[in-house]
Structure 1
């Protein structure tokens, strides 16, 4: 596939092996193209990114196996994700959240707006996991299903989590090089691998419930970490705000062998708004089958985002060197402070 971006799939596609395996000149050229795409779209596709497609198939196999467990099993206390406690490190919680518990909202300050948005239930269930190593006092422990419930699940995801982190570090090196920074600039702030891997299942629901506003797949929002790597099934539904017309959305069509990477709000802030964290949402996919009385059932969908987050206790400052005579647009902040602020809105009642 050519190195230049292509619009055949609405968003730019890059063969990431050109950065991973290229010589110094090739790495520089590819990183600059990728950074330019992120400045414009905030989203790209990457292929040949170093994780085998067999492993990605296994990823979705295990996600389906988990979500197929009976609800009473997934909702056991040892698996159920706890409600966040304001001001605590446990905001980045682990475990299972049933349909409707998490509500994606963009406004982090207006309580009335948040409460209004929460009246429309997000029709998804999810399971979150993080690193197995680190300082226990600042990390919510993972809540794994026991081996008698789902043998092999924990082992697979412990391995995949590490592989995903390695990919995220390579993407960070690419971004740093493309921004003319030291190649390890961003990785220095991601030494703890304090990321979040999420298994999302959108159950099949009546399309009428989505259309009349009773339920939503995921409304328009931006991600709030450093960056997100997304693996999606072939159902579709993800759309990204069109940079030429922000009130319109363009489909991020599933492409076999490709992952999606997007910039998060934290990195946009960090780069003084040079890199773009773009709005996106999940809409109803095509109908799966007809129901009595003219009703239609929207297909179920599986999506697996890997949210990359900076070390919680490290303070970031706007990188003003990216612009001539640049001035910081935001004050310094730690990843912990920023994530607490943003996560609270997602669970605020």
Structure 2
């Protein structure tokens, strides 16, 4: 394991078909990164660079469509339980805050929405999901898009399954129980998200007049993120609250981060870390920065348990001195009520559970 800009790098190349010693070493490296930082670069993960290039090409084609074409597959109105289809700039506001029903809280919510998030997205799930049916563009608007993204969705899950196996092994569940997490994750409740951050004025972004994506955590099990070369993703330093470090793009790598549900399973031994999207590093020097940021594209893949899966503290992660910190909860209950109490998690005002 090596380290790049404070975020560890783990090579998964020897995991498939590797010896028991190889698999234990890789699992240990992955889980150590999740304990210390909550984020890790994963290389040789199994998604070929050519396939990633194709995925980003489809994303660019999608977002290059005229707005009226993209609006043929609109995300349902705010408050809907379905999070699929196209979200236009201004629809979504990412916040780490939970609001109550009082006037003071409503005023705070209005104030928080004053700074809009400048991005657009398209969300895709399993075609087998009953709770989250896909919303597709009409046939002929972007031929081949549905077929490619559906196949890419399951290719990403193939990678996620190996990461879940490695985490189970390193948490102490043993070689005979590597598939523990897979018993809760059929893949049908995951989410593939195509994200586009249009160019925005550097000065407005630096003065917080607009935002790309404010600091938040993901309340999935884990997130796999593919990003282009323009940068802007930052991760909070676990040892210094409020200090963020750059997660610089690494060609071909995915960025994996722990979600709130995995943090609950591990009794906080694995960290669900705050992260955000802001100015790319080269745009922070006011003397040399261009007036507009470059466009940014990213593809997060959120890995979530099945709706009725019960998330409870693993026995190997608790003892008399460190008792379970969270009560058992199903995924659908956690998603419905939003994060609360000591369970820190992201909330979108359109009641989504994940960003990226």
Kept in 2: contact 1:271–1:320 (CA 8 A): no
Listed as ranges, the matches of 1:197-208 within 5 Å are 197-208=192-203
Distance 1:236 1:274, change over 3 A: same
Residue among 150, 155, 179 paired with 1:163: 155
Query: Cα deviation per residue 1:7-61 (whole Å; 9 max; x = unaligned)?
Result: 2343111111222331111101210121111000000001111111100000100
Query: Cα deviation per residue 1:191-243 (whole Å; 9 max; x = unaligned)?
Result: 24310100110000111221232210111111111000000000000011112
CA distance in 2, matches of 1:348, 1:141: 17
Q: Give unmatched runs, 5+ long, in structure 1.
A: none
CA distance in 2, matches of 1:203, 1:342: 29
Kept in 2: contact 1:51–1:163 (CA 8 A): yes
CA distance in 2, matches of 1:233, 1:66: 16
Shift, 1:148, TM fit: 1.1
Distance 1:92 1:177, change over 3 A: farther
Shift, 1:73, TM fit: 1.1
Point out 4+ residue stretches in structure 1 off by more than 4 angstroms: none
- Secondary structure of the residue aligned to 2:167 is helix
Q: Give unmatched runs, 5+ long, in structure 2.
A: 340-345, 352-356
**Which residue in the other structure is 1:48 paired with?**
44
Normalised TM-score (structure 2):
0.88
Query: Cα deviation per residue 1:77-127 (whole Å; 9 max; x = unaligned)?
Result: xx0000254xxxx52421000001111111124444444322210110000
Range with bigger deviation, 257-266 or 184-193: 184-193
Distance 1:314 1:82, change over 3 A: same
CA distance in 2, matches of 1:301, 1:41: 24
Listed as ranges, the matches of 1:195-344 within 5 Å are 195-285=190-280, 286-287=282-283, 296-325=291-320, 326-342=322-338
Distance 1:8 1:328, change over 3 A: closer
CA distance in 2, matches of 1:192, 1:8: 31
Range with bigger deviation, 24-33 or 110-119: 110-119
Normalised TM-score (structure 1):
0.90
Shift, 1:284, TM fit: 1.3
Residue among 74, 81, 96 paired with 1:106: 96
Range with bigger deviation, 171-180 or 8-17: 8-17
Shift, 1:263, TM fit: 0.3
**Which residue in the other structure is 1:176 paired with?**
168
Shift, 1:287, TM fit: 4.4
Listed as ranges, the matches of 1:90-105 within 5 Å are 91-105=81-95
**Which residue in the other structure is 1:23 paired with?**
19
CA distance in 2, matches of 1:323, 1:140: 34
Distance 1:92 1:273, change over 3 A: farther
Range with bigger deviation, 35-44 or 241-250: 241-250
CA distance in 1, matches of 2:249, 2:290: 26
Kept in 2: contact 1:108–1:114 (CA 8 A): no
**Which residue in the other structure is 1:346 paired with?**
348
Residue among 35, 59, 67 paired with 2:31: 35
